[in-house]
Structures are given as structure tokens and as C-alpha cells.
Amino acid sequence: MNRIMKSIVVLLLTIILALGSWLMFGPQIVVVASVALLAAIILAFFRSPLSLVCIGYVLSYGLLCAYIGYCEIPGYVWTLSFAIASMIGVVGVSMVAFGLWKSLPDRRSTGLEAAP
């Protein structure tokens, strides 16, 4: 996979996962966040970059919180809680993008080179 194609795939998957944080809105956040964090812990033992995706997915909920506060509370954009929620969300989306970038195959590795 060349670099441009990989960038497009990472961008699209990151946007889809960031928009998927709407699935955590409501009481199902307990189940979704627990499963994502458990998967991140298991994947971290295998040193998989997908653990960054799982942790980043949970943290991307910060952007949703910042957006809801922006829509509900006048002047919320000028508060510290908006800045903190936005930064947590940006860090989460960055972790998702980096994890996807590291986990998708390169053009150089075909998977057959490591075989004896």
C-alpha cells in the first residue's frame, strides 16, 4: 500500500471512529468504554498498535463532550473545561490515527518476506 493510499485509509477510518463516539452517548458508555479499554489492555500485552486505537476511541469522547457543551451553554468556549475536553478529544483522535498508521501494512512489507 503506497503512502497516499495509506493516508486516505487512515484519514477515513479516523473520521469514522471519531464520529463513532456518538455511540458512547448515554448509559451504553459503560459497556462501550469497558470493552474498548479491556481490548486495549489485551492488545498492549501483544504490543499491538491497535491498543492505541482502542484507548484513543474512548478519549475521542472528549470532542463530543466539548461539542455538547458548546451547543448547550452560552460562553462555554471560553472556559477551561472546554479546553480540557477538546484537548482530551484531540489526543484521542491523534492516538487513533497513529495506531491505524502503525497497524496498516506498508508497501515494503508483503508479509511473505518474514517466512523462512
Query: Residues 8-28: what's their mean pLDDT?
Result: 83
Structural domain includes residue 116: no
Task: Please indicate, yes or no, if residue 22 is contained in any of the structural domains.
Answer: yes
Grid cell at residue 102 = 502503525
Question: For 69-92, what is the mean pLDDT?
Answer: 92
- When divided into structural domains, the chain yields a total of 1
Residues 6+ apart with CB under 8 A from 70: 76, 77, 82
In a domain, 18, yes or no: yes
Range of the domain at 55: 3-103
Q: Do the domain assignments include residue 92? A: yes
Q: What percent of the chain stands above pLDDT 90?
A: 34
Is residue 112 domain-resident? no
Helix (H/G/I), strand (E/B), else coil: 49: coil
Specify the pTM.
0.81
